[in-house]
A = this chain, B = another copy of it.
Amino acid sequence: MPPESSYDIKYFKVEWPVPGVAHVEINRPEKYNAFNPDMWHGMPKIFDRLSEDPNVRCIVLSGNGEKAFCAGLDVQSASTAGPVSQPDPKLDFARRSWAIRRHVYDYQNTVNAIERCEKPTIILLHGICFGAAIDMATAADIRYCTKDAKLCVKEVDVGLAADVGTLTRLPKIGVSYSWAKEIVYTARVFDGEEALQVGFASRNFKGKDELMKAGVELATFIASKSPVAVQSSKALLDFSRDRPIEDGLRYTASWNAAMVQAEDVTKAMMSGVRKTKPTFEKL
């Protein structure tokens, strides 16, 4: 297990409930885990490290505290700095826009880090899950939530279109497009029951304790599988999602031409024959 210090980033806790499972906790409960600039820049560092850390096989992402997974952008800190609220008065409009575009790329990068992370991420949603919370949720692999979670694509209520990933990924996660547009245009809150029913989440739970337990159990189970198989599956599903069948198949064949030569295949088959539980090397 890696020294925790290497993941020592302000406002986040990284723990190791079992070998192979990293539990990333957003840790600013006094502010409902709202994201300030430190957090926007800190999170990709964590996920980029987890991505290449051979000790990690599956990641659980949750929010510290009872109230909220994440209340979104920290409006207070956002309103005192940054090109949106405090544009440089010397800049003309086009140059302000240029600065904002760079800024949006920056924030998108935070969320992309979850998707481009080689390891699967299970996001555990409880309490308030607004704005950036949905950006992160749509970028994660698996969404679990509490039944009473309060989810909201909040951006329309602050006068703008969500630009950090939600609008890009919502049409691709297998939910009714009519429902997706309804929750985006109205910024209405939907709870964990509705999230399950429409397929936004794949399971829901009574309270945060049950949620956390189930999340870690799922992660532990996934971590027991061949990391070559699991991580390849993530890469191939996400590549194929965006491209024609033909391209997905060809990419998959090239990928697996090497990957099926992993000793994991032999190990798994042997274990199947011998009815034993295989152990797989790190990746």
Contact = CB atoms under 8 A, between A and B. Distances in A.
Interface string A258-281: 111111111111001000001011
Assign chain A's interface to a size class.
35 or more
A160 B251 contact: no
B281 A92 contact: yes
A173 B172 CA distance: 10
Interface stretch (A15-23, A35-43, A60-68, A226-234): A226-234
Contacts of A100: 256-257, 260-261
A180 B187 CA distance: 27
A157 interface: yes
Copies in the complex: 6
A267 B101 contact: no
Contact of A229 (B160, B253, B269): B160
B200 A178 contact: yes
A199 B185 contact: no
A60 to B, nearest CB: 13
